[in-house]
Amino acid sequence: MSNRFKPKFNIKKGDSVVVITGDDKDVTKPRKVLEVFPENERVLIEGANIITKHTKPSAQNTKGGIVKKEAPIHISNVKLWDAKKGEATKIKRSRENGKLVRISKKSGGSI
């Protein structure tokens, strides 16, 4: 992906989001964003898209075995959680005092 047309996403690390599609869909349960991968348009969400990974024994992990961990999901499958309204919301951006601020479309408050 070129830097000239780099996409800008409204979701950042540490935000509360809800999964709106897929196996882990739950629009009433907010989850925390652990990491954002803008080059792949994916986000890593706590407790969503759990995969099982088979690992061989190594120096760090002497037993090996099956490990459950989160896998990234596409950023279009999540929506930001608005704590004031208690539901998922879309975001608009505006400048206030020279800083870019994310504003909830449902409650009108900044995030």
Residue 70, domain member (yes or no): yes
Per-residue pLDDT, 3:
73
Residue 107, domain member (yes or no): no
Residue 95, domain member (yes or no): no
Per-residue pLDDT, 13:
96
User: Which of 15, 17, 9, 10 is CA-nearest to residue 38?
Assistant: 9
Give the chain's domain count: 1
Residue 56, domain member (yes or no): yes
Q: What is the pTM of this model?
A: 0.85
Q: In angstroms, rounded to a whole number, what is the distance separating the alpha carbons of residues 23 and 63?
A: 31
CA end-to-end span of the chain:
28
Residue 66, domain member (yes or no): yes
pLDDT score of 1 more than 80: no
Residue 46, domain member (yes or no): yes
Per-residue pLDDT, 61:
86
Residue 21, domain member (yes or no): yes
CATH code (residue 36): 2.30.30
Which residues are CB-neighbours of 37 under 8 A, at least 6 positions away? 43, 44, 72
Domain boundaries, position 60:
16-83
Secondary structure element (H or E) that encloses residue 33, with its range: strand 26-37
Give tens-digit pLDDT for 68-109: 999 999 999 999 999 999 999 999 999 999 999 999 999 999
